[in-house]
Amino acid sequence: MLVKKVSLILFAMALVYQTANAQDAKKAIKTIAAQFVKGADKQDAALLEDVLEPSSLQYVLIGGKFNTFTAEQYIKMVADKKLGGKPRTINYQHAEFLGDNLAVVVLQAVSSEYDFLYQLSMARSNSGKWEIVGVTTEIKGV
């Protein structure tokens, strides 16, 4: 009987620990997503460089037409103040791990002028750092 109780307590403790770790991990990928949005909002190229994998691509759908940007092009447009500069409110719609080193975050970022729907594909490098490896965006007027 005592062994059964101890086993149940250990099992419950393991579940609590696993849940806490999962919450911390989701918080980490949401933080990367928020840094991506805030990098554009604040026109902070360094913040974008920190979260975008250098060879990542961004597919932007505006009015039914796709535009494609490399991370370098996007960062330069933000640094040159051609994009961004307006604060947006973030609403997370989905954050999920696809494996130990892959994740996806879907969020909406709304400014006074535009509504951005993002799907951010992320990967964790060998160093353990999460980076955005692909972005798909739909932009609509508010």
Per-residue pLDDT reduced to its tens digit, 49-59? 999 999 999 99
Per-residue pLDDT reduced to its tens digit, 68-83? 999 999 999 999 999 9
Answer CATH for 2-141 from 3.10.450.50, 3.50.30.40, 2.40.110.10, 3.40.50.970? 3.10.450.50
The Cα 93–Cα 60 span in angstroms is 19
Record the pTM. Answer: 0.83
pLDDT for the residue 132: 98
Give every CB contact of residue 54 below 8 A, 6+ residues apart in sequence: 71, 72
Residue where the block lists tokens 């955005």: 132
Domain positions in the chain: 2-141
